[in-house]
Amino acid sequence: MYNEDLKRAFIQTMVDTGINKTIEAVASQYFKQAEPVEEALQKDLSNFNINEIIGMLKHFCTPSMETLMMGTSVFRRYTYYCIKENGVTDKLNHYEEVTNEMYLDCVNKSLSEDKIISRQNLMKQVHLLENPVEQFVLFAVFEGLGGVGCMDLVDIQLSQFHDNTVTLRSGRVLSVPSELVAIAQESADEYFYYPPNASAEKYEKVKFKDEPGIIKSLYNVKADSSDRRKAYNIVNKLRRISDRAGTKAFLNGHLIESGRIDLIKRVMLEQKETDPRKAMRLCRDEMKVRYGEIQAVGRWLLKYEKYLE
C-alpha cells in the first residue's frame, strides 16, 4: 500500500467503529488496487483531482458499477480522515464530485459480457465481498463443491472439512484450498449479514437464524424449507452477486465452467502440455467428480478453447 502507515491507521478507525468483520480486508483490497496509480503519480489518492480519480477507477478494469461505487466510498472516507490529519493539500474531497455518469464511463463493458472468469479475478471479487457467506458460496462453486443445482452446499457444516479435504452430502470427497477452509470458518462464526449498500456511510446488519452451519438462513426464511428450496436460495445468492457485479460470470453454471477451465489450465501448466484435449484426458476423473462429465468434448472445446490458450 502507498503511504501504508496512514492507510493502516485509517482502517483501524473503521475497525474500531465495529462496522463489520470484513471491512479491514475490503478496504485493504481497494487500497492495493489503487497503489499502482498512486505510484505512477507519486502521490496519495487523498490528493487526487477529479481527472486522476477517473483514471484510477478506469484502472480497476471492472464490469461492476457497484464495485467502483464501493471503492469510491472507501476513498471518500479515507480522504476526509486525511483532511482531519492535515494530509490533503487543497483540503478538498474530490471524491464528492464523482457522478453516476462518471461511474458508467469507467465500467469495463467488454468484461460484463464475458461469462468465464479466471481464478485471479475471482479471488479479487471474493475479497471485495463483505459477507463471508457470499465469499464462501462464490469460491465453493468455482472449486466444484456445489454439485447439481448447489445441492451439496445445502446445510454444509464445518465438521465436513478435515484439513484440506471436504466430504459432501453426495459422498464426493474433494481437496480444497486452505483459503476456502478459512472462509468457511469465518462464515460459520458469523451471525450477522451486512446488506451491500455502496453509498451508505453507516452499515446496517441483519441477524441470521441461530443455527449451526456455514450458510445460515435469515429470519425471513421459513423454518420448514425443503432442501430443494435451500439449494434454490443458494443459486439465487449467486444471481444477486452477479447482478451487483454487473457480470454473468458469477452465475452457477458459468462458475462451474470457469472452475473446469481453471483445472485444465493448471494441468496444462504442471504437465507442460499444450494440447487441451490431452490435458483433459489427464484430469478426466477429477474433472468428472468436481464439475460433472462433458457430454460433447468437441463442441465444448469449440466454445471454450480460447480460454485455454
- Burial class from Cβ neighbours inside 10 Å (0-12, 13-18, 19+) for residue 72 reads buried
pTM for the whole thing?
Answer: 0.72
- Nearest CA-CA partner of 128 in 61, 30, 36: 30
Is 64 a residue whose pLDDT tops 90?
no
> Where along the chain do its domains lie?
4-111, 114-309
pLDDT digits (tens, 9 = 90+) for 96-155: 999 988 998 888 776 656 789 999 989 988 988 888 999 999 999 999 999 999 999 999
Q: What nine digits make up the cell of 68?
A: 467502483
150: left (phi over 0), alpha (psi -120 to 50) or beta: left
Q: What pLDDT shows up at residue 18? A: 61
CATH number of 114-309, picked from 1.20.58, 3.30.70, 1.10.443, 3.40.1130: 1.10.443
Name the more confident of 114 and 86.
Answer: 86
